[in-house]
Amino acid sequence: MNISSALPTTETKGQFTFERLHLSEAELHPIRMDLYHSKGSGFHIFRQFVPPALVEHMRSVWPKAELPPGFQVLPASDAYYPGCPNYYVRYPDNSLIFFNFLHAPPLDETTQEVSVAVHMLRNRLSGRNAFQDLAGRHALSYRVTLNRNFEEWIAPHRDFMDWDRRWEKGQFDPSRLQATLFLSDSGTDYSGNGFFFQTNDGRDITLGKQVPIRSGDLLIWRYGNLHSVENVKCNDDQFGFMRIIFPVHDLVDKPPRPPSIRTRALARVKHLIGRGRSVLGGLKRRFA
């Protein structure tokens, strides 16, 4: 069965791009129907939200950044606080994550400007104030991610759908939307699956397979629908699965206690071991 042929129209072509930041309420209505109606797909694609030149620019900036100035290695999951630095993580297979906040100096102003535009569009589609959660106690983090070889990067899960904690603010909110700006092409830059998503009526799709998607396309999707990133494969000649997502973090009141010298030293050793394993793995694949 061709799943994509059975899905409702879930894309916008030429009407809305990063360079033309305006959609009327009349244009928003059918997109909201795609996102929220039980017969809708639960997602909407803005084709070529950013032009190829901007895609190439962002692809050239982030993968080359080895612990850029102003960034710190992510120390813990509760390290987000008002005024915190941007963070960085490198994995043994050379997968990368950059956690960027608007209150910190940007590594790349183009990426930051595009990210603010994406967040404001998402807010409008979900019925929120366009400027909500740009900064403050609930703050946008535009997260640049590059995956190379991971069987299960993000296990299948749902966000903001904890029914047992529905009386706690923010724990159960079916209106929440997430966004993914694709900066890679399936089959060219990486193989395997990538981004999996379950539609509003329970159909399983993979972006880049059942539903075509290209670098520069912006995917807006329901955060509460089942989703994952799985089975990403990349050889030495491929770029990897690069994208930006846009989580909003609850910031803690104050910075966590600084790690001890021993903890920092161990983290640095693990980082160097990971880099060494990555280099050895690449050499083994090249000469195998």
Verify that 200 and 287 share a domain, yes or no.
Answer: no
DSSP alpha helix (H) spans, the chain:
3-6, 25-36, 52-61, 109-125, 261-287
Q: CB under 8 Å to 1, separation ≥6 — which residues? A: none
The predicted pLDDT at position 152 comes to 76
Is residue 188 over pLDDT 70? Answer: yes
Comparing 221 with 236, which gets the higher pLDDT? 221
Q: Are residues 265 and 240 in the same domain?
A: no
Helix, strand, coil percentages for the chain (3-state, nearest 5): 25, 30, 45
Element (H, E) at 218: strand 218-222
Residue 161's pLDDT is what? 72
Q: Assign residue 120 the CATH number of its domain.
A: 2.60.120.620
Q: Write out the two tokens for 285.
A: 């694949």
Give the count of domains, the chain: 2
- What confidence score (pLDDT) does residue 2 get? 35
Range of the domain at 253: 3-257
Radius of gyration of the chain (CA): 19
Percent residues over pLDDT 90 in the chain: 52
Same domain, 150 and 232: yes
pLDDT tens for each residue of 95-126: 999 999 999 999 999 999 999 999 999 999 99
Q: Residue 132, Cα to own-chain centre: how many angstroms?
A: 19
Shared-domain flag, residues 270 and 155: no
Question: Do residues 228 and 273 both lie within one domain?
Answer: no
Residues 247 and 267 both lie in one domain: no
Q: Are residues 76 and 44 in the same domain?
A: yes
- Judged against a pLDDT cut of 80, whether residue 266 lies above it is answered with no
Largest CA distance in the chain: 58
Dihedral sign computed on CA atoms, order 193, 197, 202, 205: negative
On whether both 166 and 285 belong to a single domain, the answer is: no
Pairing of β 86-90 and β 71-73: parallel
Residue 63's alpha-carbon distances to 31, 90, 172, 242, in angstroms, are: 33, 10, 35, 9
Residues 171 and 275 in one domain: no
pLDDT tens digits, 121-158: 999 999 998 899 998 888 999 999 999 987 778 888 89
